[in-house]
Amino acid sequence: MKPAEFKRRRHQLMKMMGKNTIAILPSASEIIRNRDAHFPFRQDSDFLYLTGFNEPEAVMVLIPGRKHGEYILFCREKNPEQETWNGRRAGQEGAVEIYGADDSFPIDDIDDILPGLLEGTDSIYYTMGGSAEFDKRLIGWVNHIKAQSRAGLHVPSEFVSLDYILHDMRLFKSREELRLMRKAATINVRAHKRAMKLCAPGKHEYQIEAEFDHEYRSHNASHAYSSIVGGGANGCILHYTENTDPLQDGDLLLIDAGCEVEGYASDITRTFPINGKYSKAQRELYDIVLAAHTAAVKKVKPGNHWNDPHNAAVRVITRGLVELKLLKGSVSKLIKEQAYRKFYMHRTGHWLGLDVHDVGDYKVGDQWRLLEPGMVMTIEPGIYIPAKTRGVHRKWWDIGIRIEDDVLVTRQGYEILTDGLPRKASEIEALMAS
Ligand code: GLY
Ligand code: MN
Ligand code: MN
């Protein structure tokens, strides 16, 4: 992503903040996994969105209209010895030259410098609750100025929630963001195809999981979340990530896996027969989920609201379950009573972007949000029937199915970013046989 895109975002944010304001946003911190080992570092998505700066121990400050520079980045100083052990740092020079900061200071000097930047502003744009420790430090800096208010220092009088503006900005994807999301989608489609082709009875779930690691890293993408690779009964566990079991002939395999490119996620689920051919019972349920998926996607268009796709999926699933005698009664009554939740217990999607469950409100007041061009969401209906489900014939047991794609709202309606991956049962069978 080019520096100009980050600059554009900062300017847009500052325009909305107005005069006599300051925005403060800390980076993510490194997290210890065990003793000296850390989890792979993942930058905070808000921070990444505004800076493109991928180091821990940094704080972004924006002060609209400040004469000596509006964008200040606190970050680690260069340190040849530390860099030998732990990797390169941009330092203050890099913050200015590479990342476009107007000014940059060592993060160790923040206690001395930040109170001076707060002084004279009226409102502090900041997201409380992200880090209790940083919240405390910020209040400490404000109190530091308060203590000097009798000396004439102007104390900021209000905190404004930064994420309120920022998350609405993030909800609408720019052309550059869509380029990265398309790239993530394309890599992910390749990975899922690879998994379909290499799947065979006798292999283990982790071997199929490894194909995603291979495909993602081969294209310099990383995981957007832990892969779910669940054969048979494991497909009925929504967040199954152990991925340890052998794959049985006759079972389905549910794979929910996604990669990210420069932070932007793709999120796909497919469910296919381990031996390459859906059984009659599997196919009957699969075709209901597919029809629910189709009906939900059709509801993605400007002017419809967030919950329209979910309502469409619920209707198709309930009707299908009644036809298969898995539910009994009138379809509209069963929907009203949410009887479908016995088999379909999650929602039909979520916003997608820098976070796999991306930011952005789903409701405005008590109304579902209207869909607008530039929003990206998943559509992911499913049916899950664990063994021994009461009142259910055993031929349906241990069938868990989900079909998930990434869908962009366009001016005309929708574009499925992950459309390159087969979804119809017959197409999946053909790919597996090829
Ligand atoms: N992979 C997480 C989700 O589908 O929401
Ligand atoms: Mn999802
Ligand atoms: Mn998913």
Domain ranges of the chain: 3-170, 172-433
Ligand nearest to the CA of 406: 2
Which helix (H) or strand (E) segment is 341 a member of? none
Question: SS3 string of 52-100?
Answer: CCCCCCCEEEECCCCCCCCEEEEECCCCHHHHHHHCCCCHHHHHHHCCC
- Indicate which residue's Cα is closest to atom 5 of ligand 1: 357
Q: What is the CATH number of domain 172-433?
A: 3.90.230.10
Is any ligand 1 atom within 6 A of the Cβ of residue 347? no
Which residues are registered as beta bridge partners of 124? 22, 159
pLDDT recorded at residue 141? 96
Residue (of 53, 37, 17, 38) closest to 159 by Cα position: 17
What is the distance in A from the centroid of ligand 3 to the CA of 176? 23
The structure tokens listed for 152 are 């004439």
DSSP labels for 232-283?
Answer: GGGGGSTT-----SBPPTT-EEEEEE-EEETTEE--EEEEEETTSS--HHHH
Quote the CA–CA distance of 95 and 103 in Å, as a whole number: 8
Closest atom, ligand 1, to C-alpha of 225: 1
Closest atom, ligand 1, to C-alpha of 224: 1
Quote the CA–CA distance of 28 and 38 in Å, as a whole number: 13
Quote the CA–CA distance of 227 and 230 in Å, as a whole number: 9
Is any ligand 1 atom within 6 A of the Cβ of residue 356? yes
What is the distance in A from the centroid of ligand 1 to the CA of 256? 7
Q: Is the dihedral of CA 123, 129, 134, 136 positive or negative?
A: positive
Q: How many CB atoms lie within 10 A of CB 155?
A: 17
In the chain, what percentage of residues exceed pLDDT 70?
Answer: 100
- SS3 helix, strand, coil % of the chain, rounded to 5? 40, 20, 40
Number of helical (H) and strand (E) elements in the chain, helices listed first: 13, 21
pLDDT recorded at residue 148? 87
pLDDT recorded at residue 149? 80
- The best mutation among 266, 380, 402 to test binding of ligand 1, ranked by most ligand atoms within 8 Å of the C-beta, falls on 380
DSSP labels for 135-150?
Answer: HHHHHHHHHHHHTTGG
Is any ligand 1 atom within 6 A of the Cβ of residue 267? yes
The structure tokens listed for 237 are 């566990």
8 Å CB contact between 197 and 253: no
Distances (CA, A) of 25 to 131, 255, 260: 11, 36, 23
254 exposure class (CB count in 10 Å sphere: 0-12, 13-18, 19+)? buried
Architecture in CATH for domain 3-170: 3-Layer(aba) Sandwich (3.40)
Ligand nearest to the CA of 239: 1
Q: How many CB atoms lie within 10 A of CB 328?
A: 10
39 phi-psi bin (left φ>0, alpha ψ -120 to 50, beta other):
beta
Distances (CA, A) of 269 to 39, 76, 114, 409: 25, 40, 46, 20
pLDDT recorded at residue 153? 85
Which helix (H) or strand (E) segment is 371 a member of? none
Q: What is the DSSP letter of 32?
A: E
Mean pLDDT per block of 10 residues along the chain (434 residues) reads 96 97 98 96 98 98 96 98 96 98 98 95 96 96 89 90 97 98 98 98 98 98 98 98 98 98 98 98 98 98 98 98 98 98 98 98 97 98 97 97 99 98 98 96
Catalogue the active-site residues.
36, 239, 256, 267, 346, 350, 357, 380, 384, 402, 404
Closest atom, ligand 1, to C-alpha of 267: 1
- The best mutation among 229, 241, 255, 378 to test binding of ligand 1, ranked by most ligand atoms within 8 Å of the C-beta, falls on 378
Is any ligand 1 atom within 6 A of the Cβ of residue 380? yes
pLDDT recorded at residue 240? 98
Q: What is the DSSP letter of 307?
A: T
Q: What is the mean pLDDT of the chain?
A: 97
- The best mutation among 188, 256, 259 to test binding of ligand 1, ranked by most ligand atoms within 8 Å of the C-beta, falls on 256
